[in-house]
Amino acid sequence: MPDGRRTFTVLSREWCHLCHDLVAALEPIAQEYGWAIDVVDVDQHPELEARWDELVPVVLAGETELCHYHLDEAAVRAHCSGG
């Protein structure tokens, strides 16, 4: 979180089209609420791959899983709005 903004972490894979689609859909929401997006390739982190392998892509806010496979816009917006 280098700029001090709250950050969504997207657990992704380089070759995963669902991952790229999810990030593209998340970007305008993150921008609207002033959140950053940190995309992490689970294939580069064995501990993340072991935990999240079949669920990727996954959107996390801290330790909270907001959604996986596809963007749940309602869940993301609810989290950003504090409820």
* Type and span of the H or E element at 63: none
Question: By the 8 A CB rule, do 26 and 59 touch?
Answer: yes
Provide the domain count of the chain: 1
pLDDT category at 82 given cuts 50, 70, 90 is confident
pLDDT category at 58 given cuts 50, 70, 90 is very high
Query: Which residue range forms the structural domain that includes residue 16?
Result: 7-80
Q: Is the pTM of this model over 0.95?
A: no
pLDDT tens, residue by residue, 23-40: 999 999 999 999 999 999
Residue 2 confidence (pLDDT) above 50? no
Asked if residue 69 is part of any domain, the answer here is yes
CATH code where residue 56 lies:
3.40.30.10
- Match 């002033």 to its residue by tokens: 34
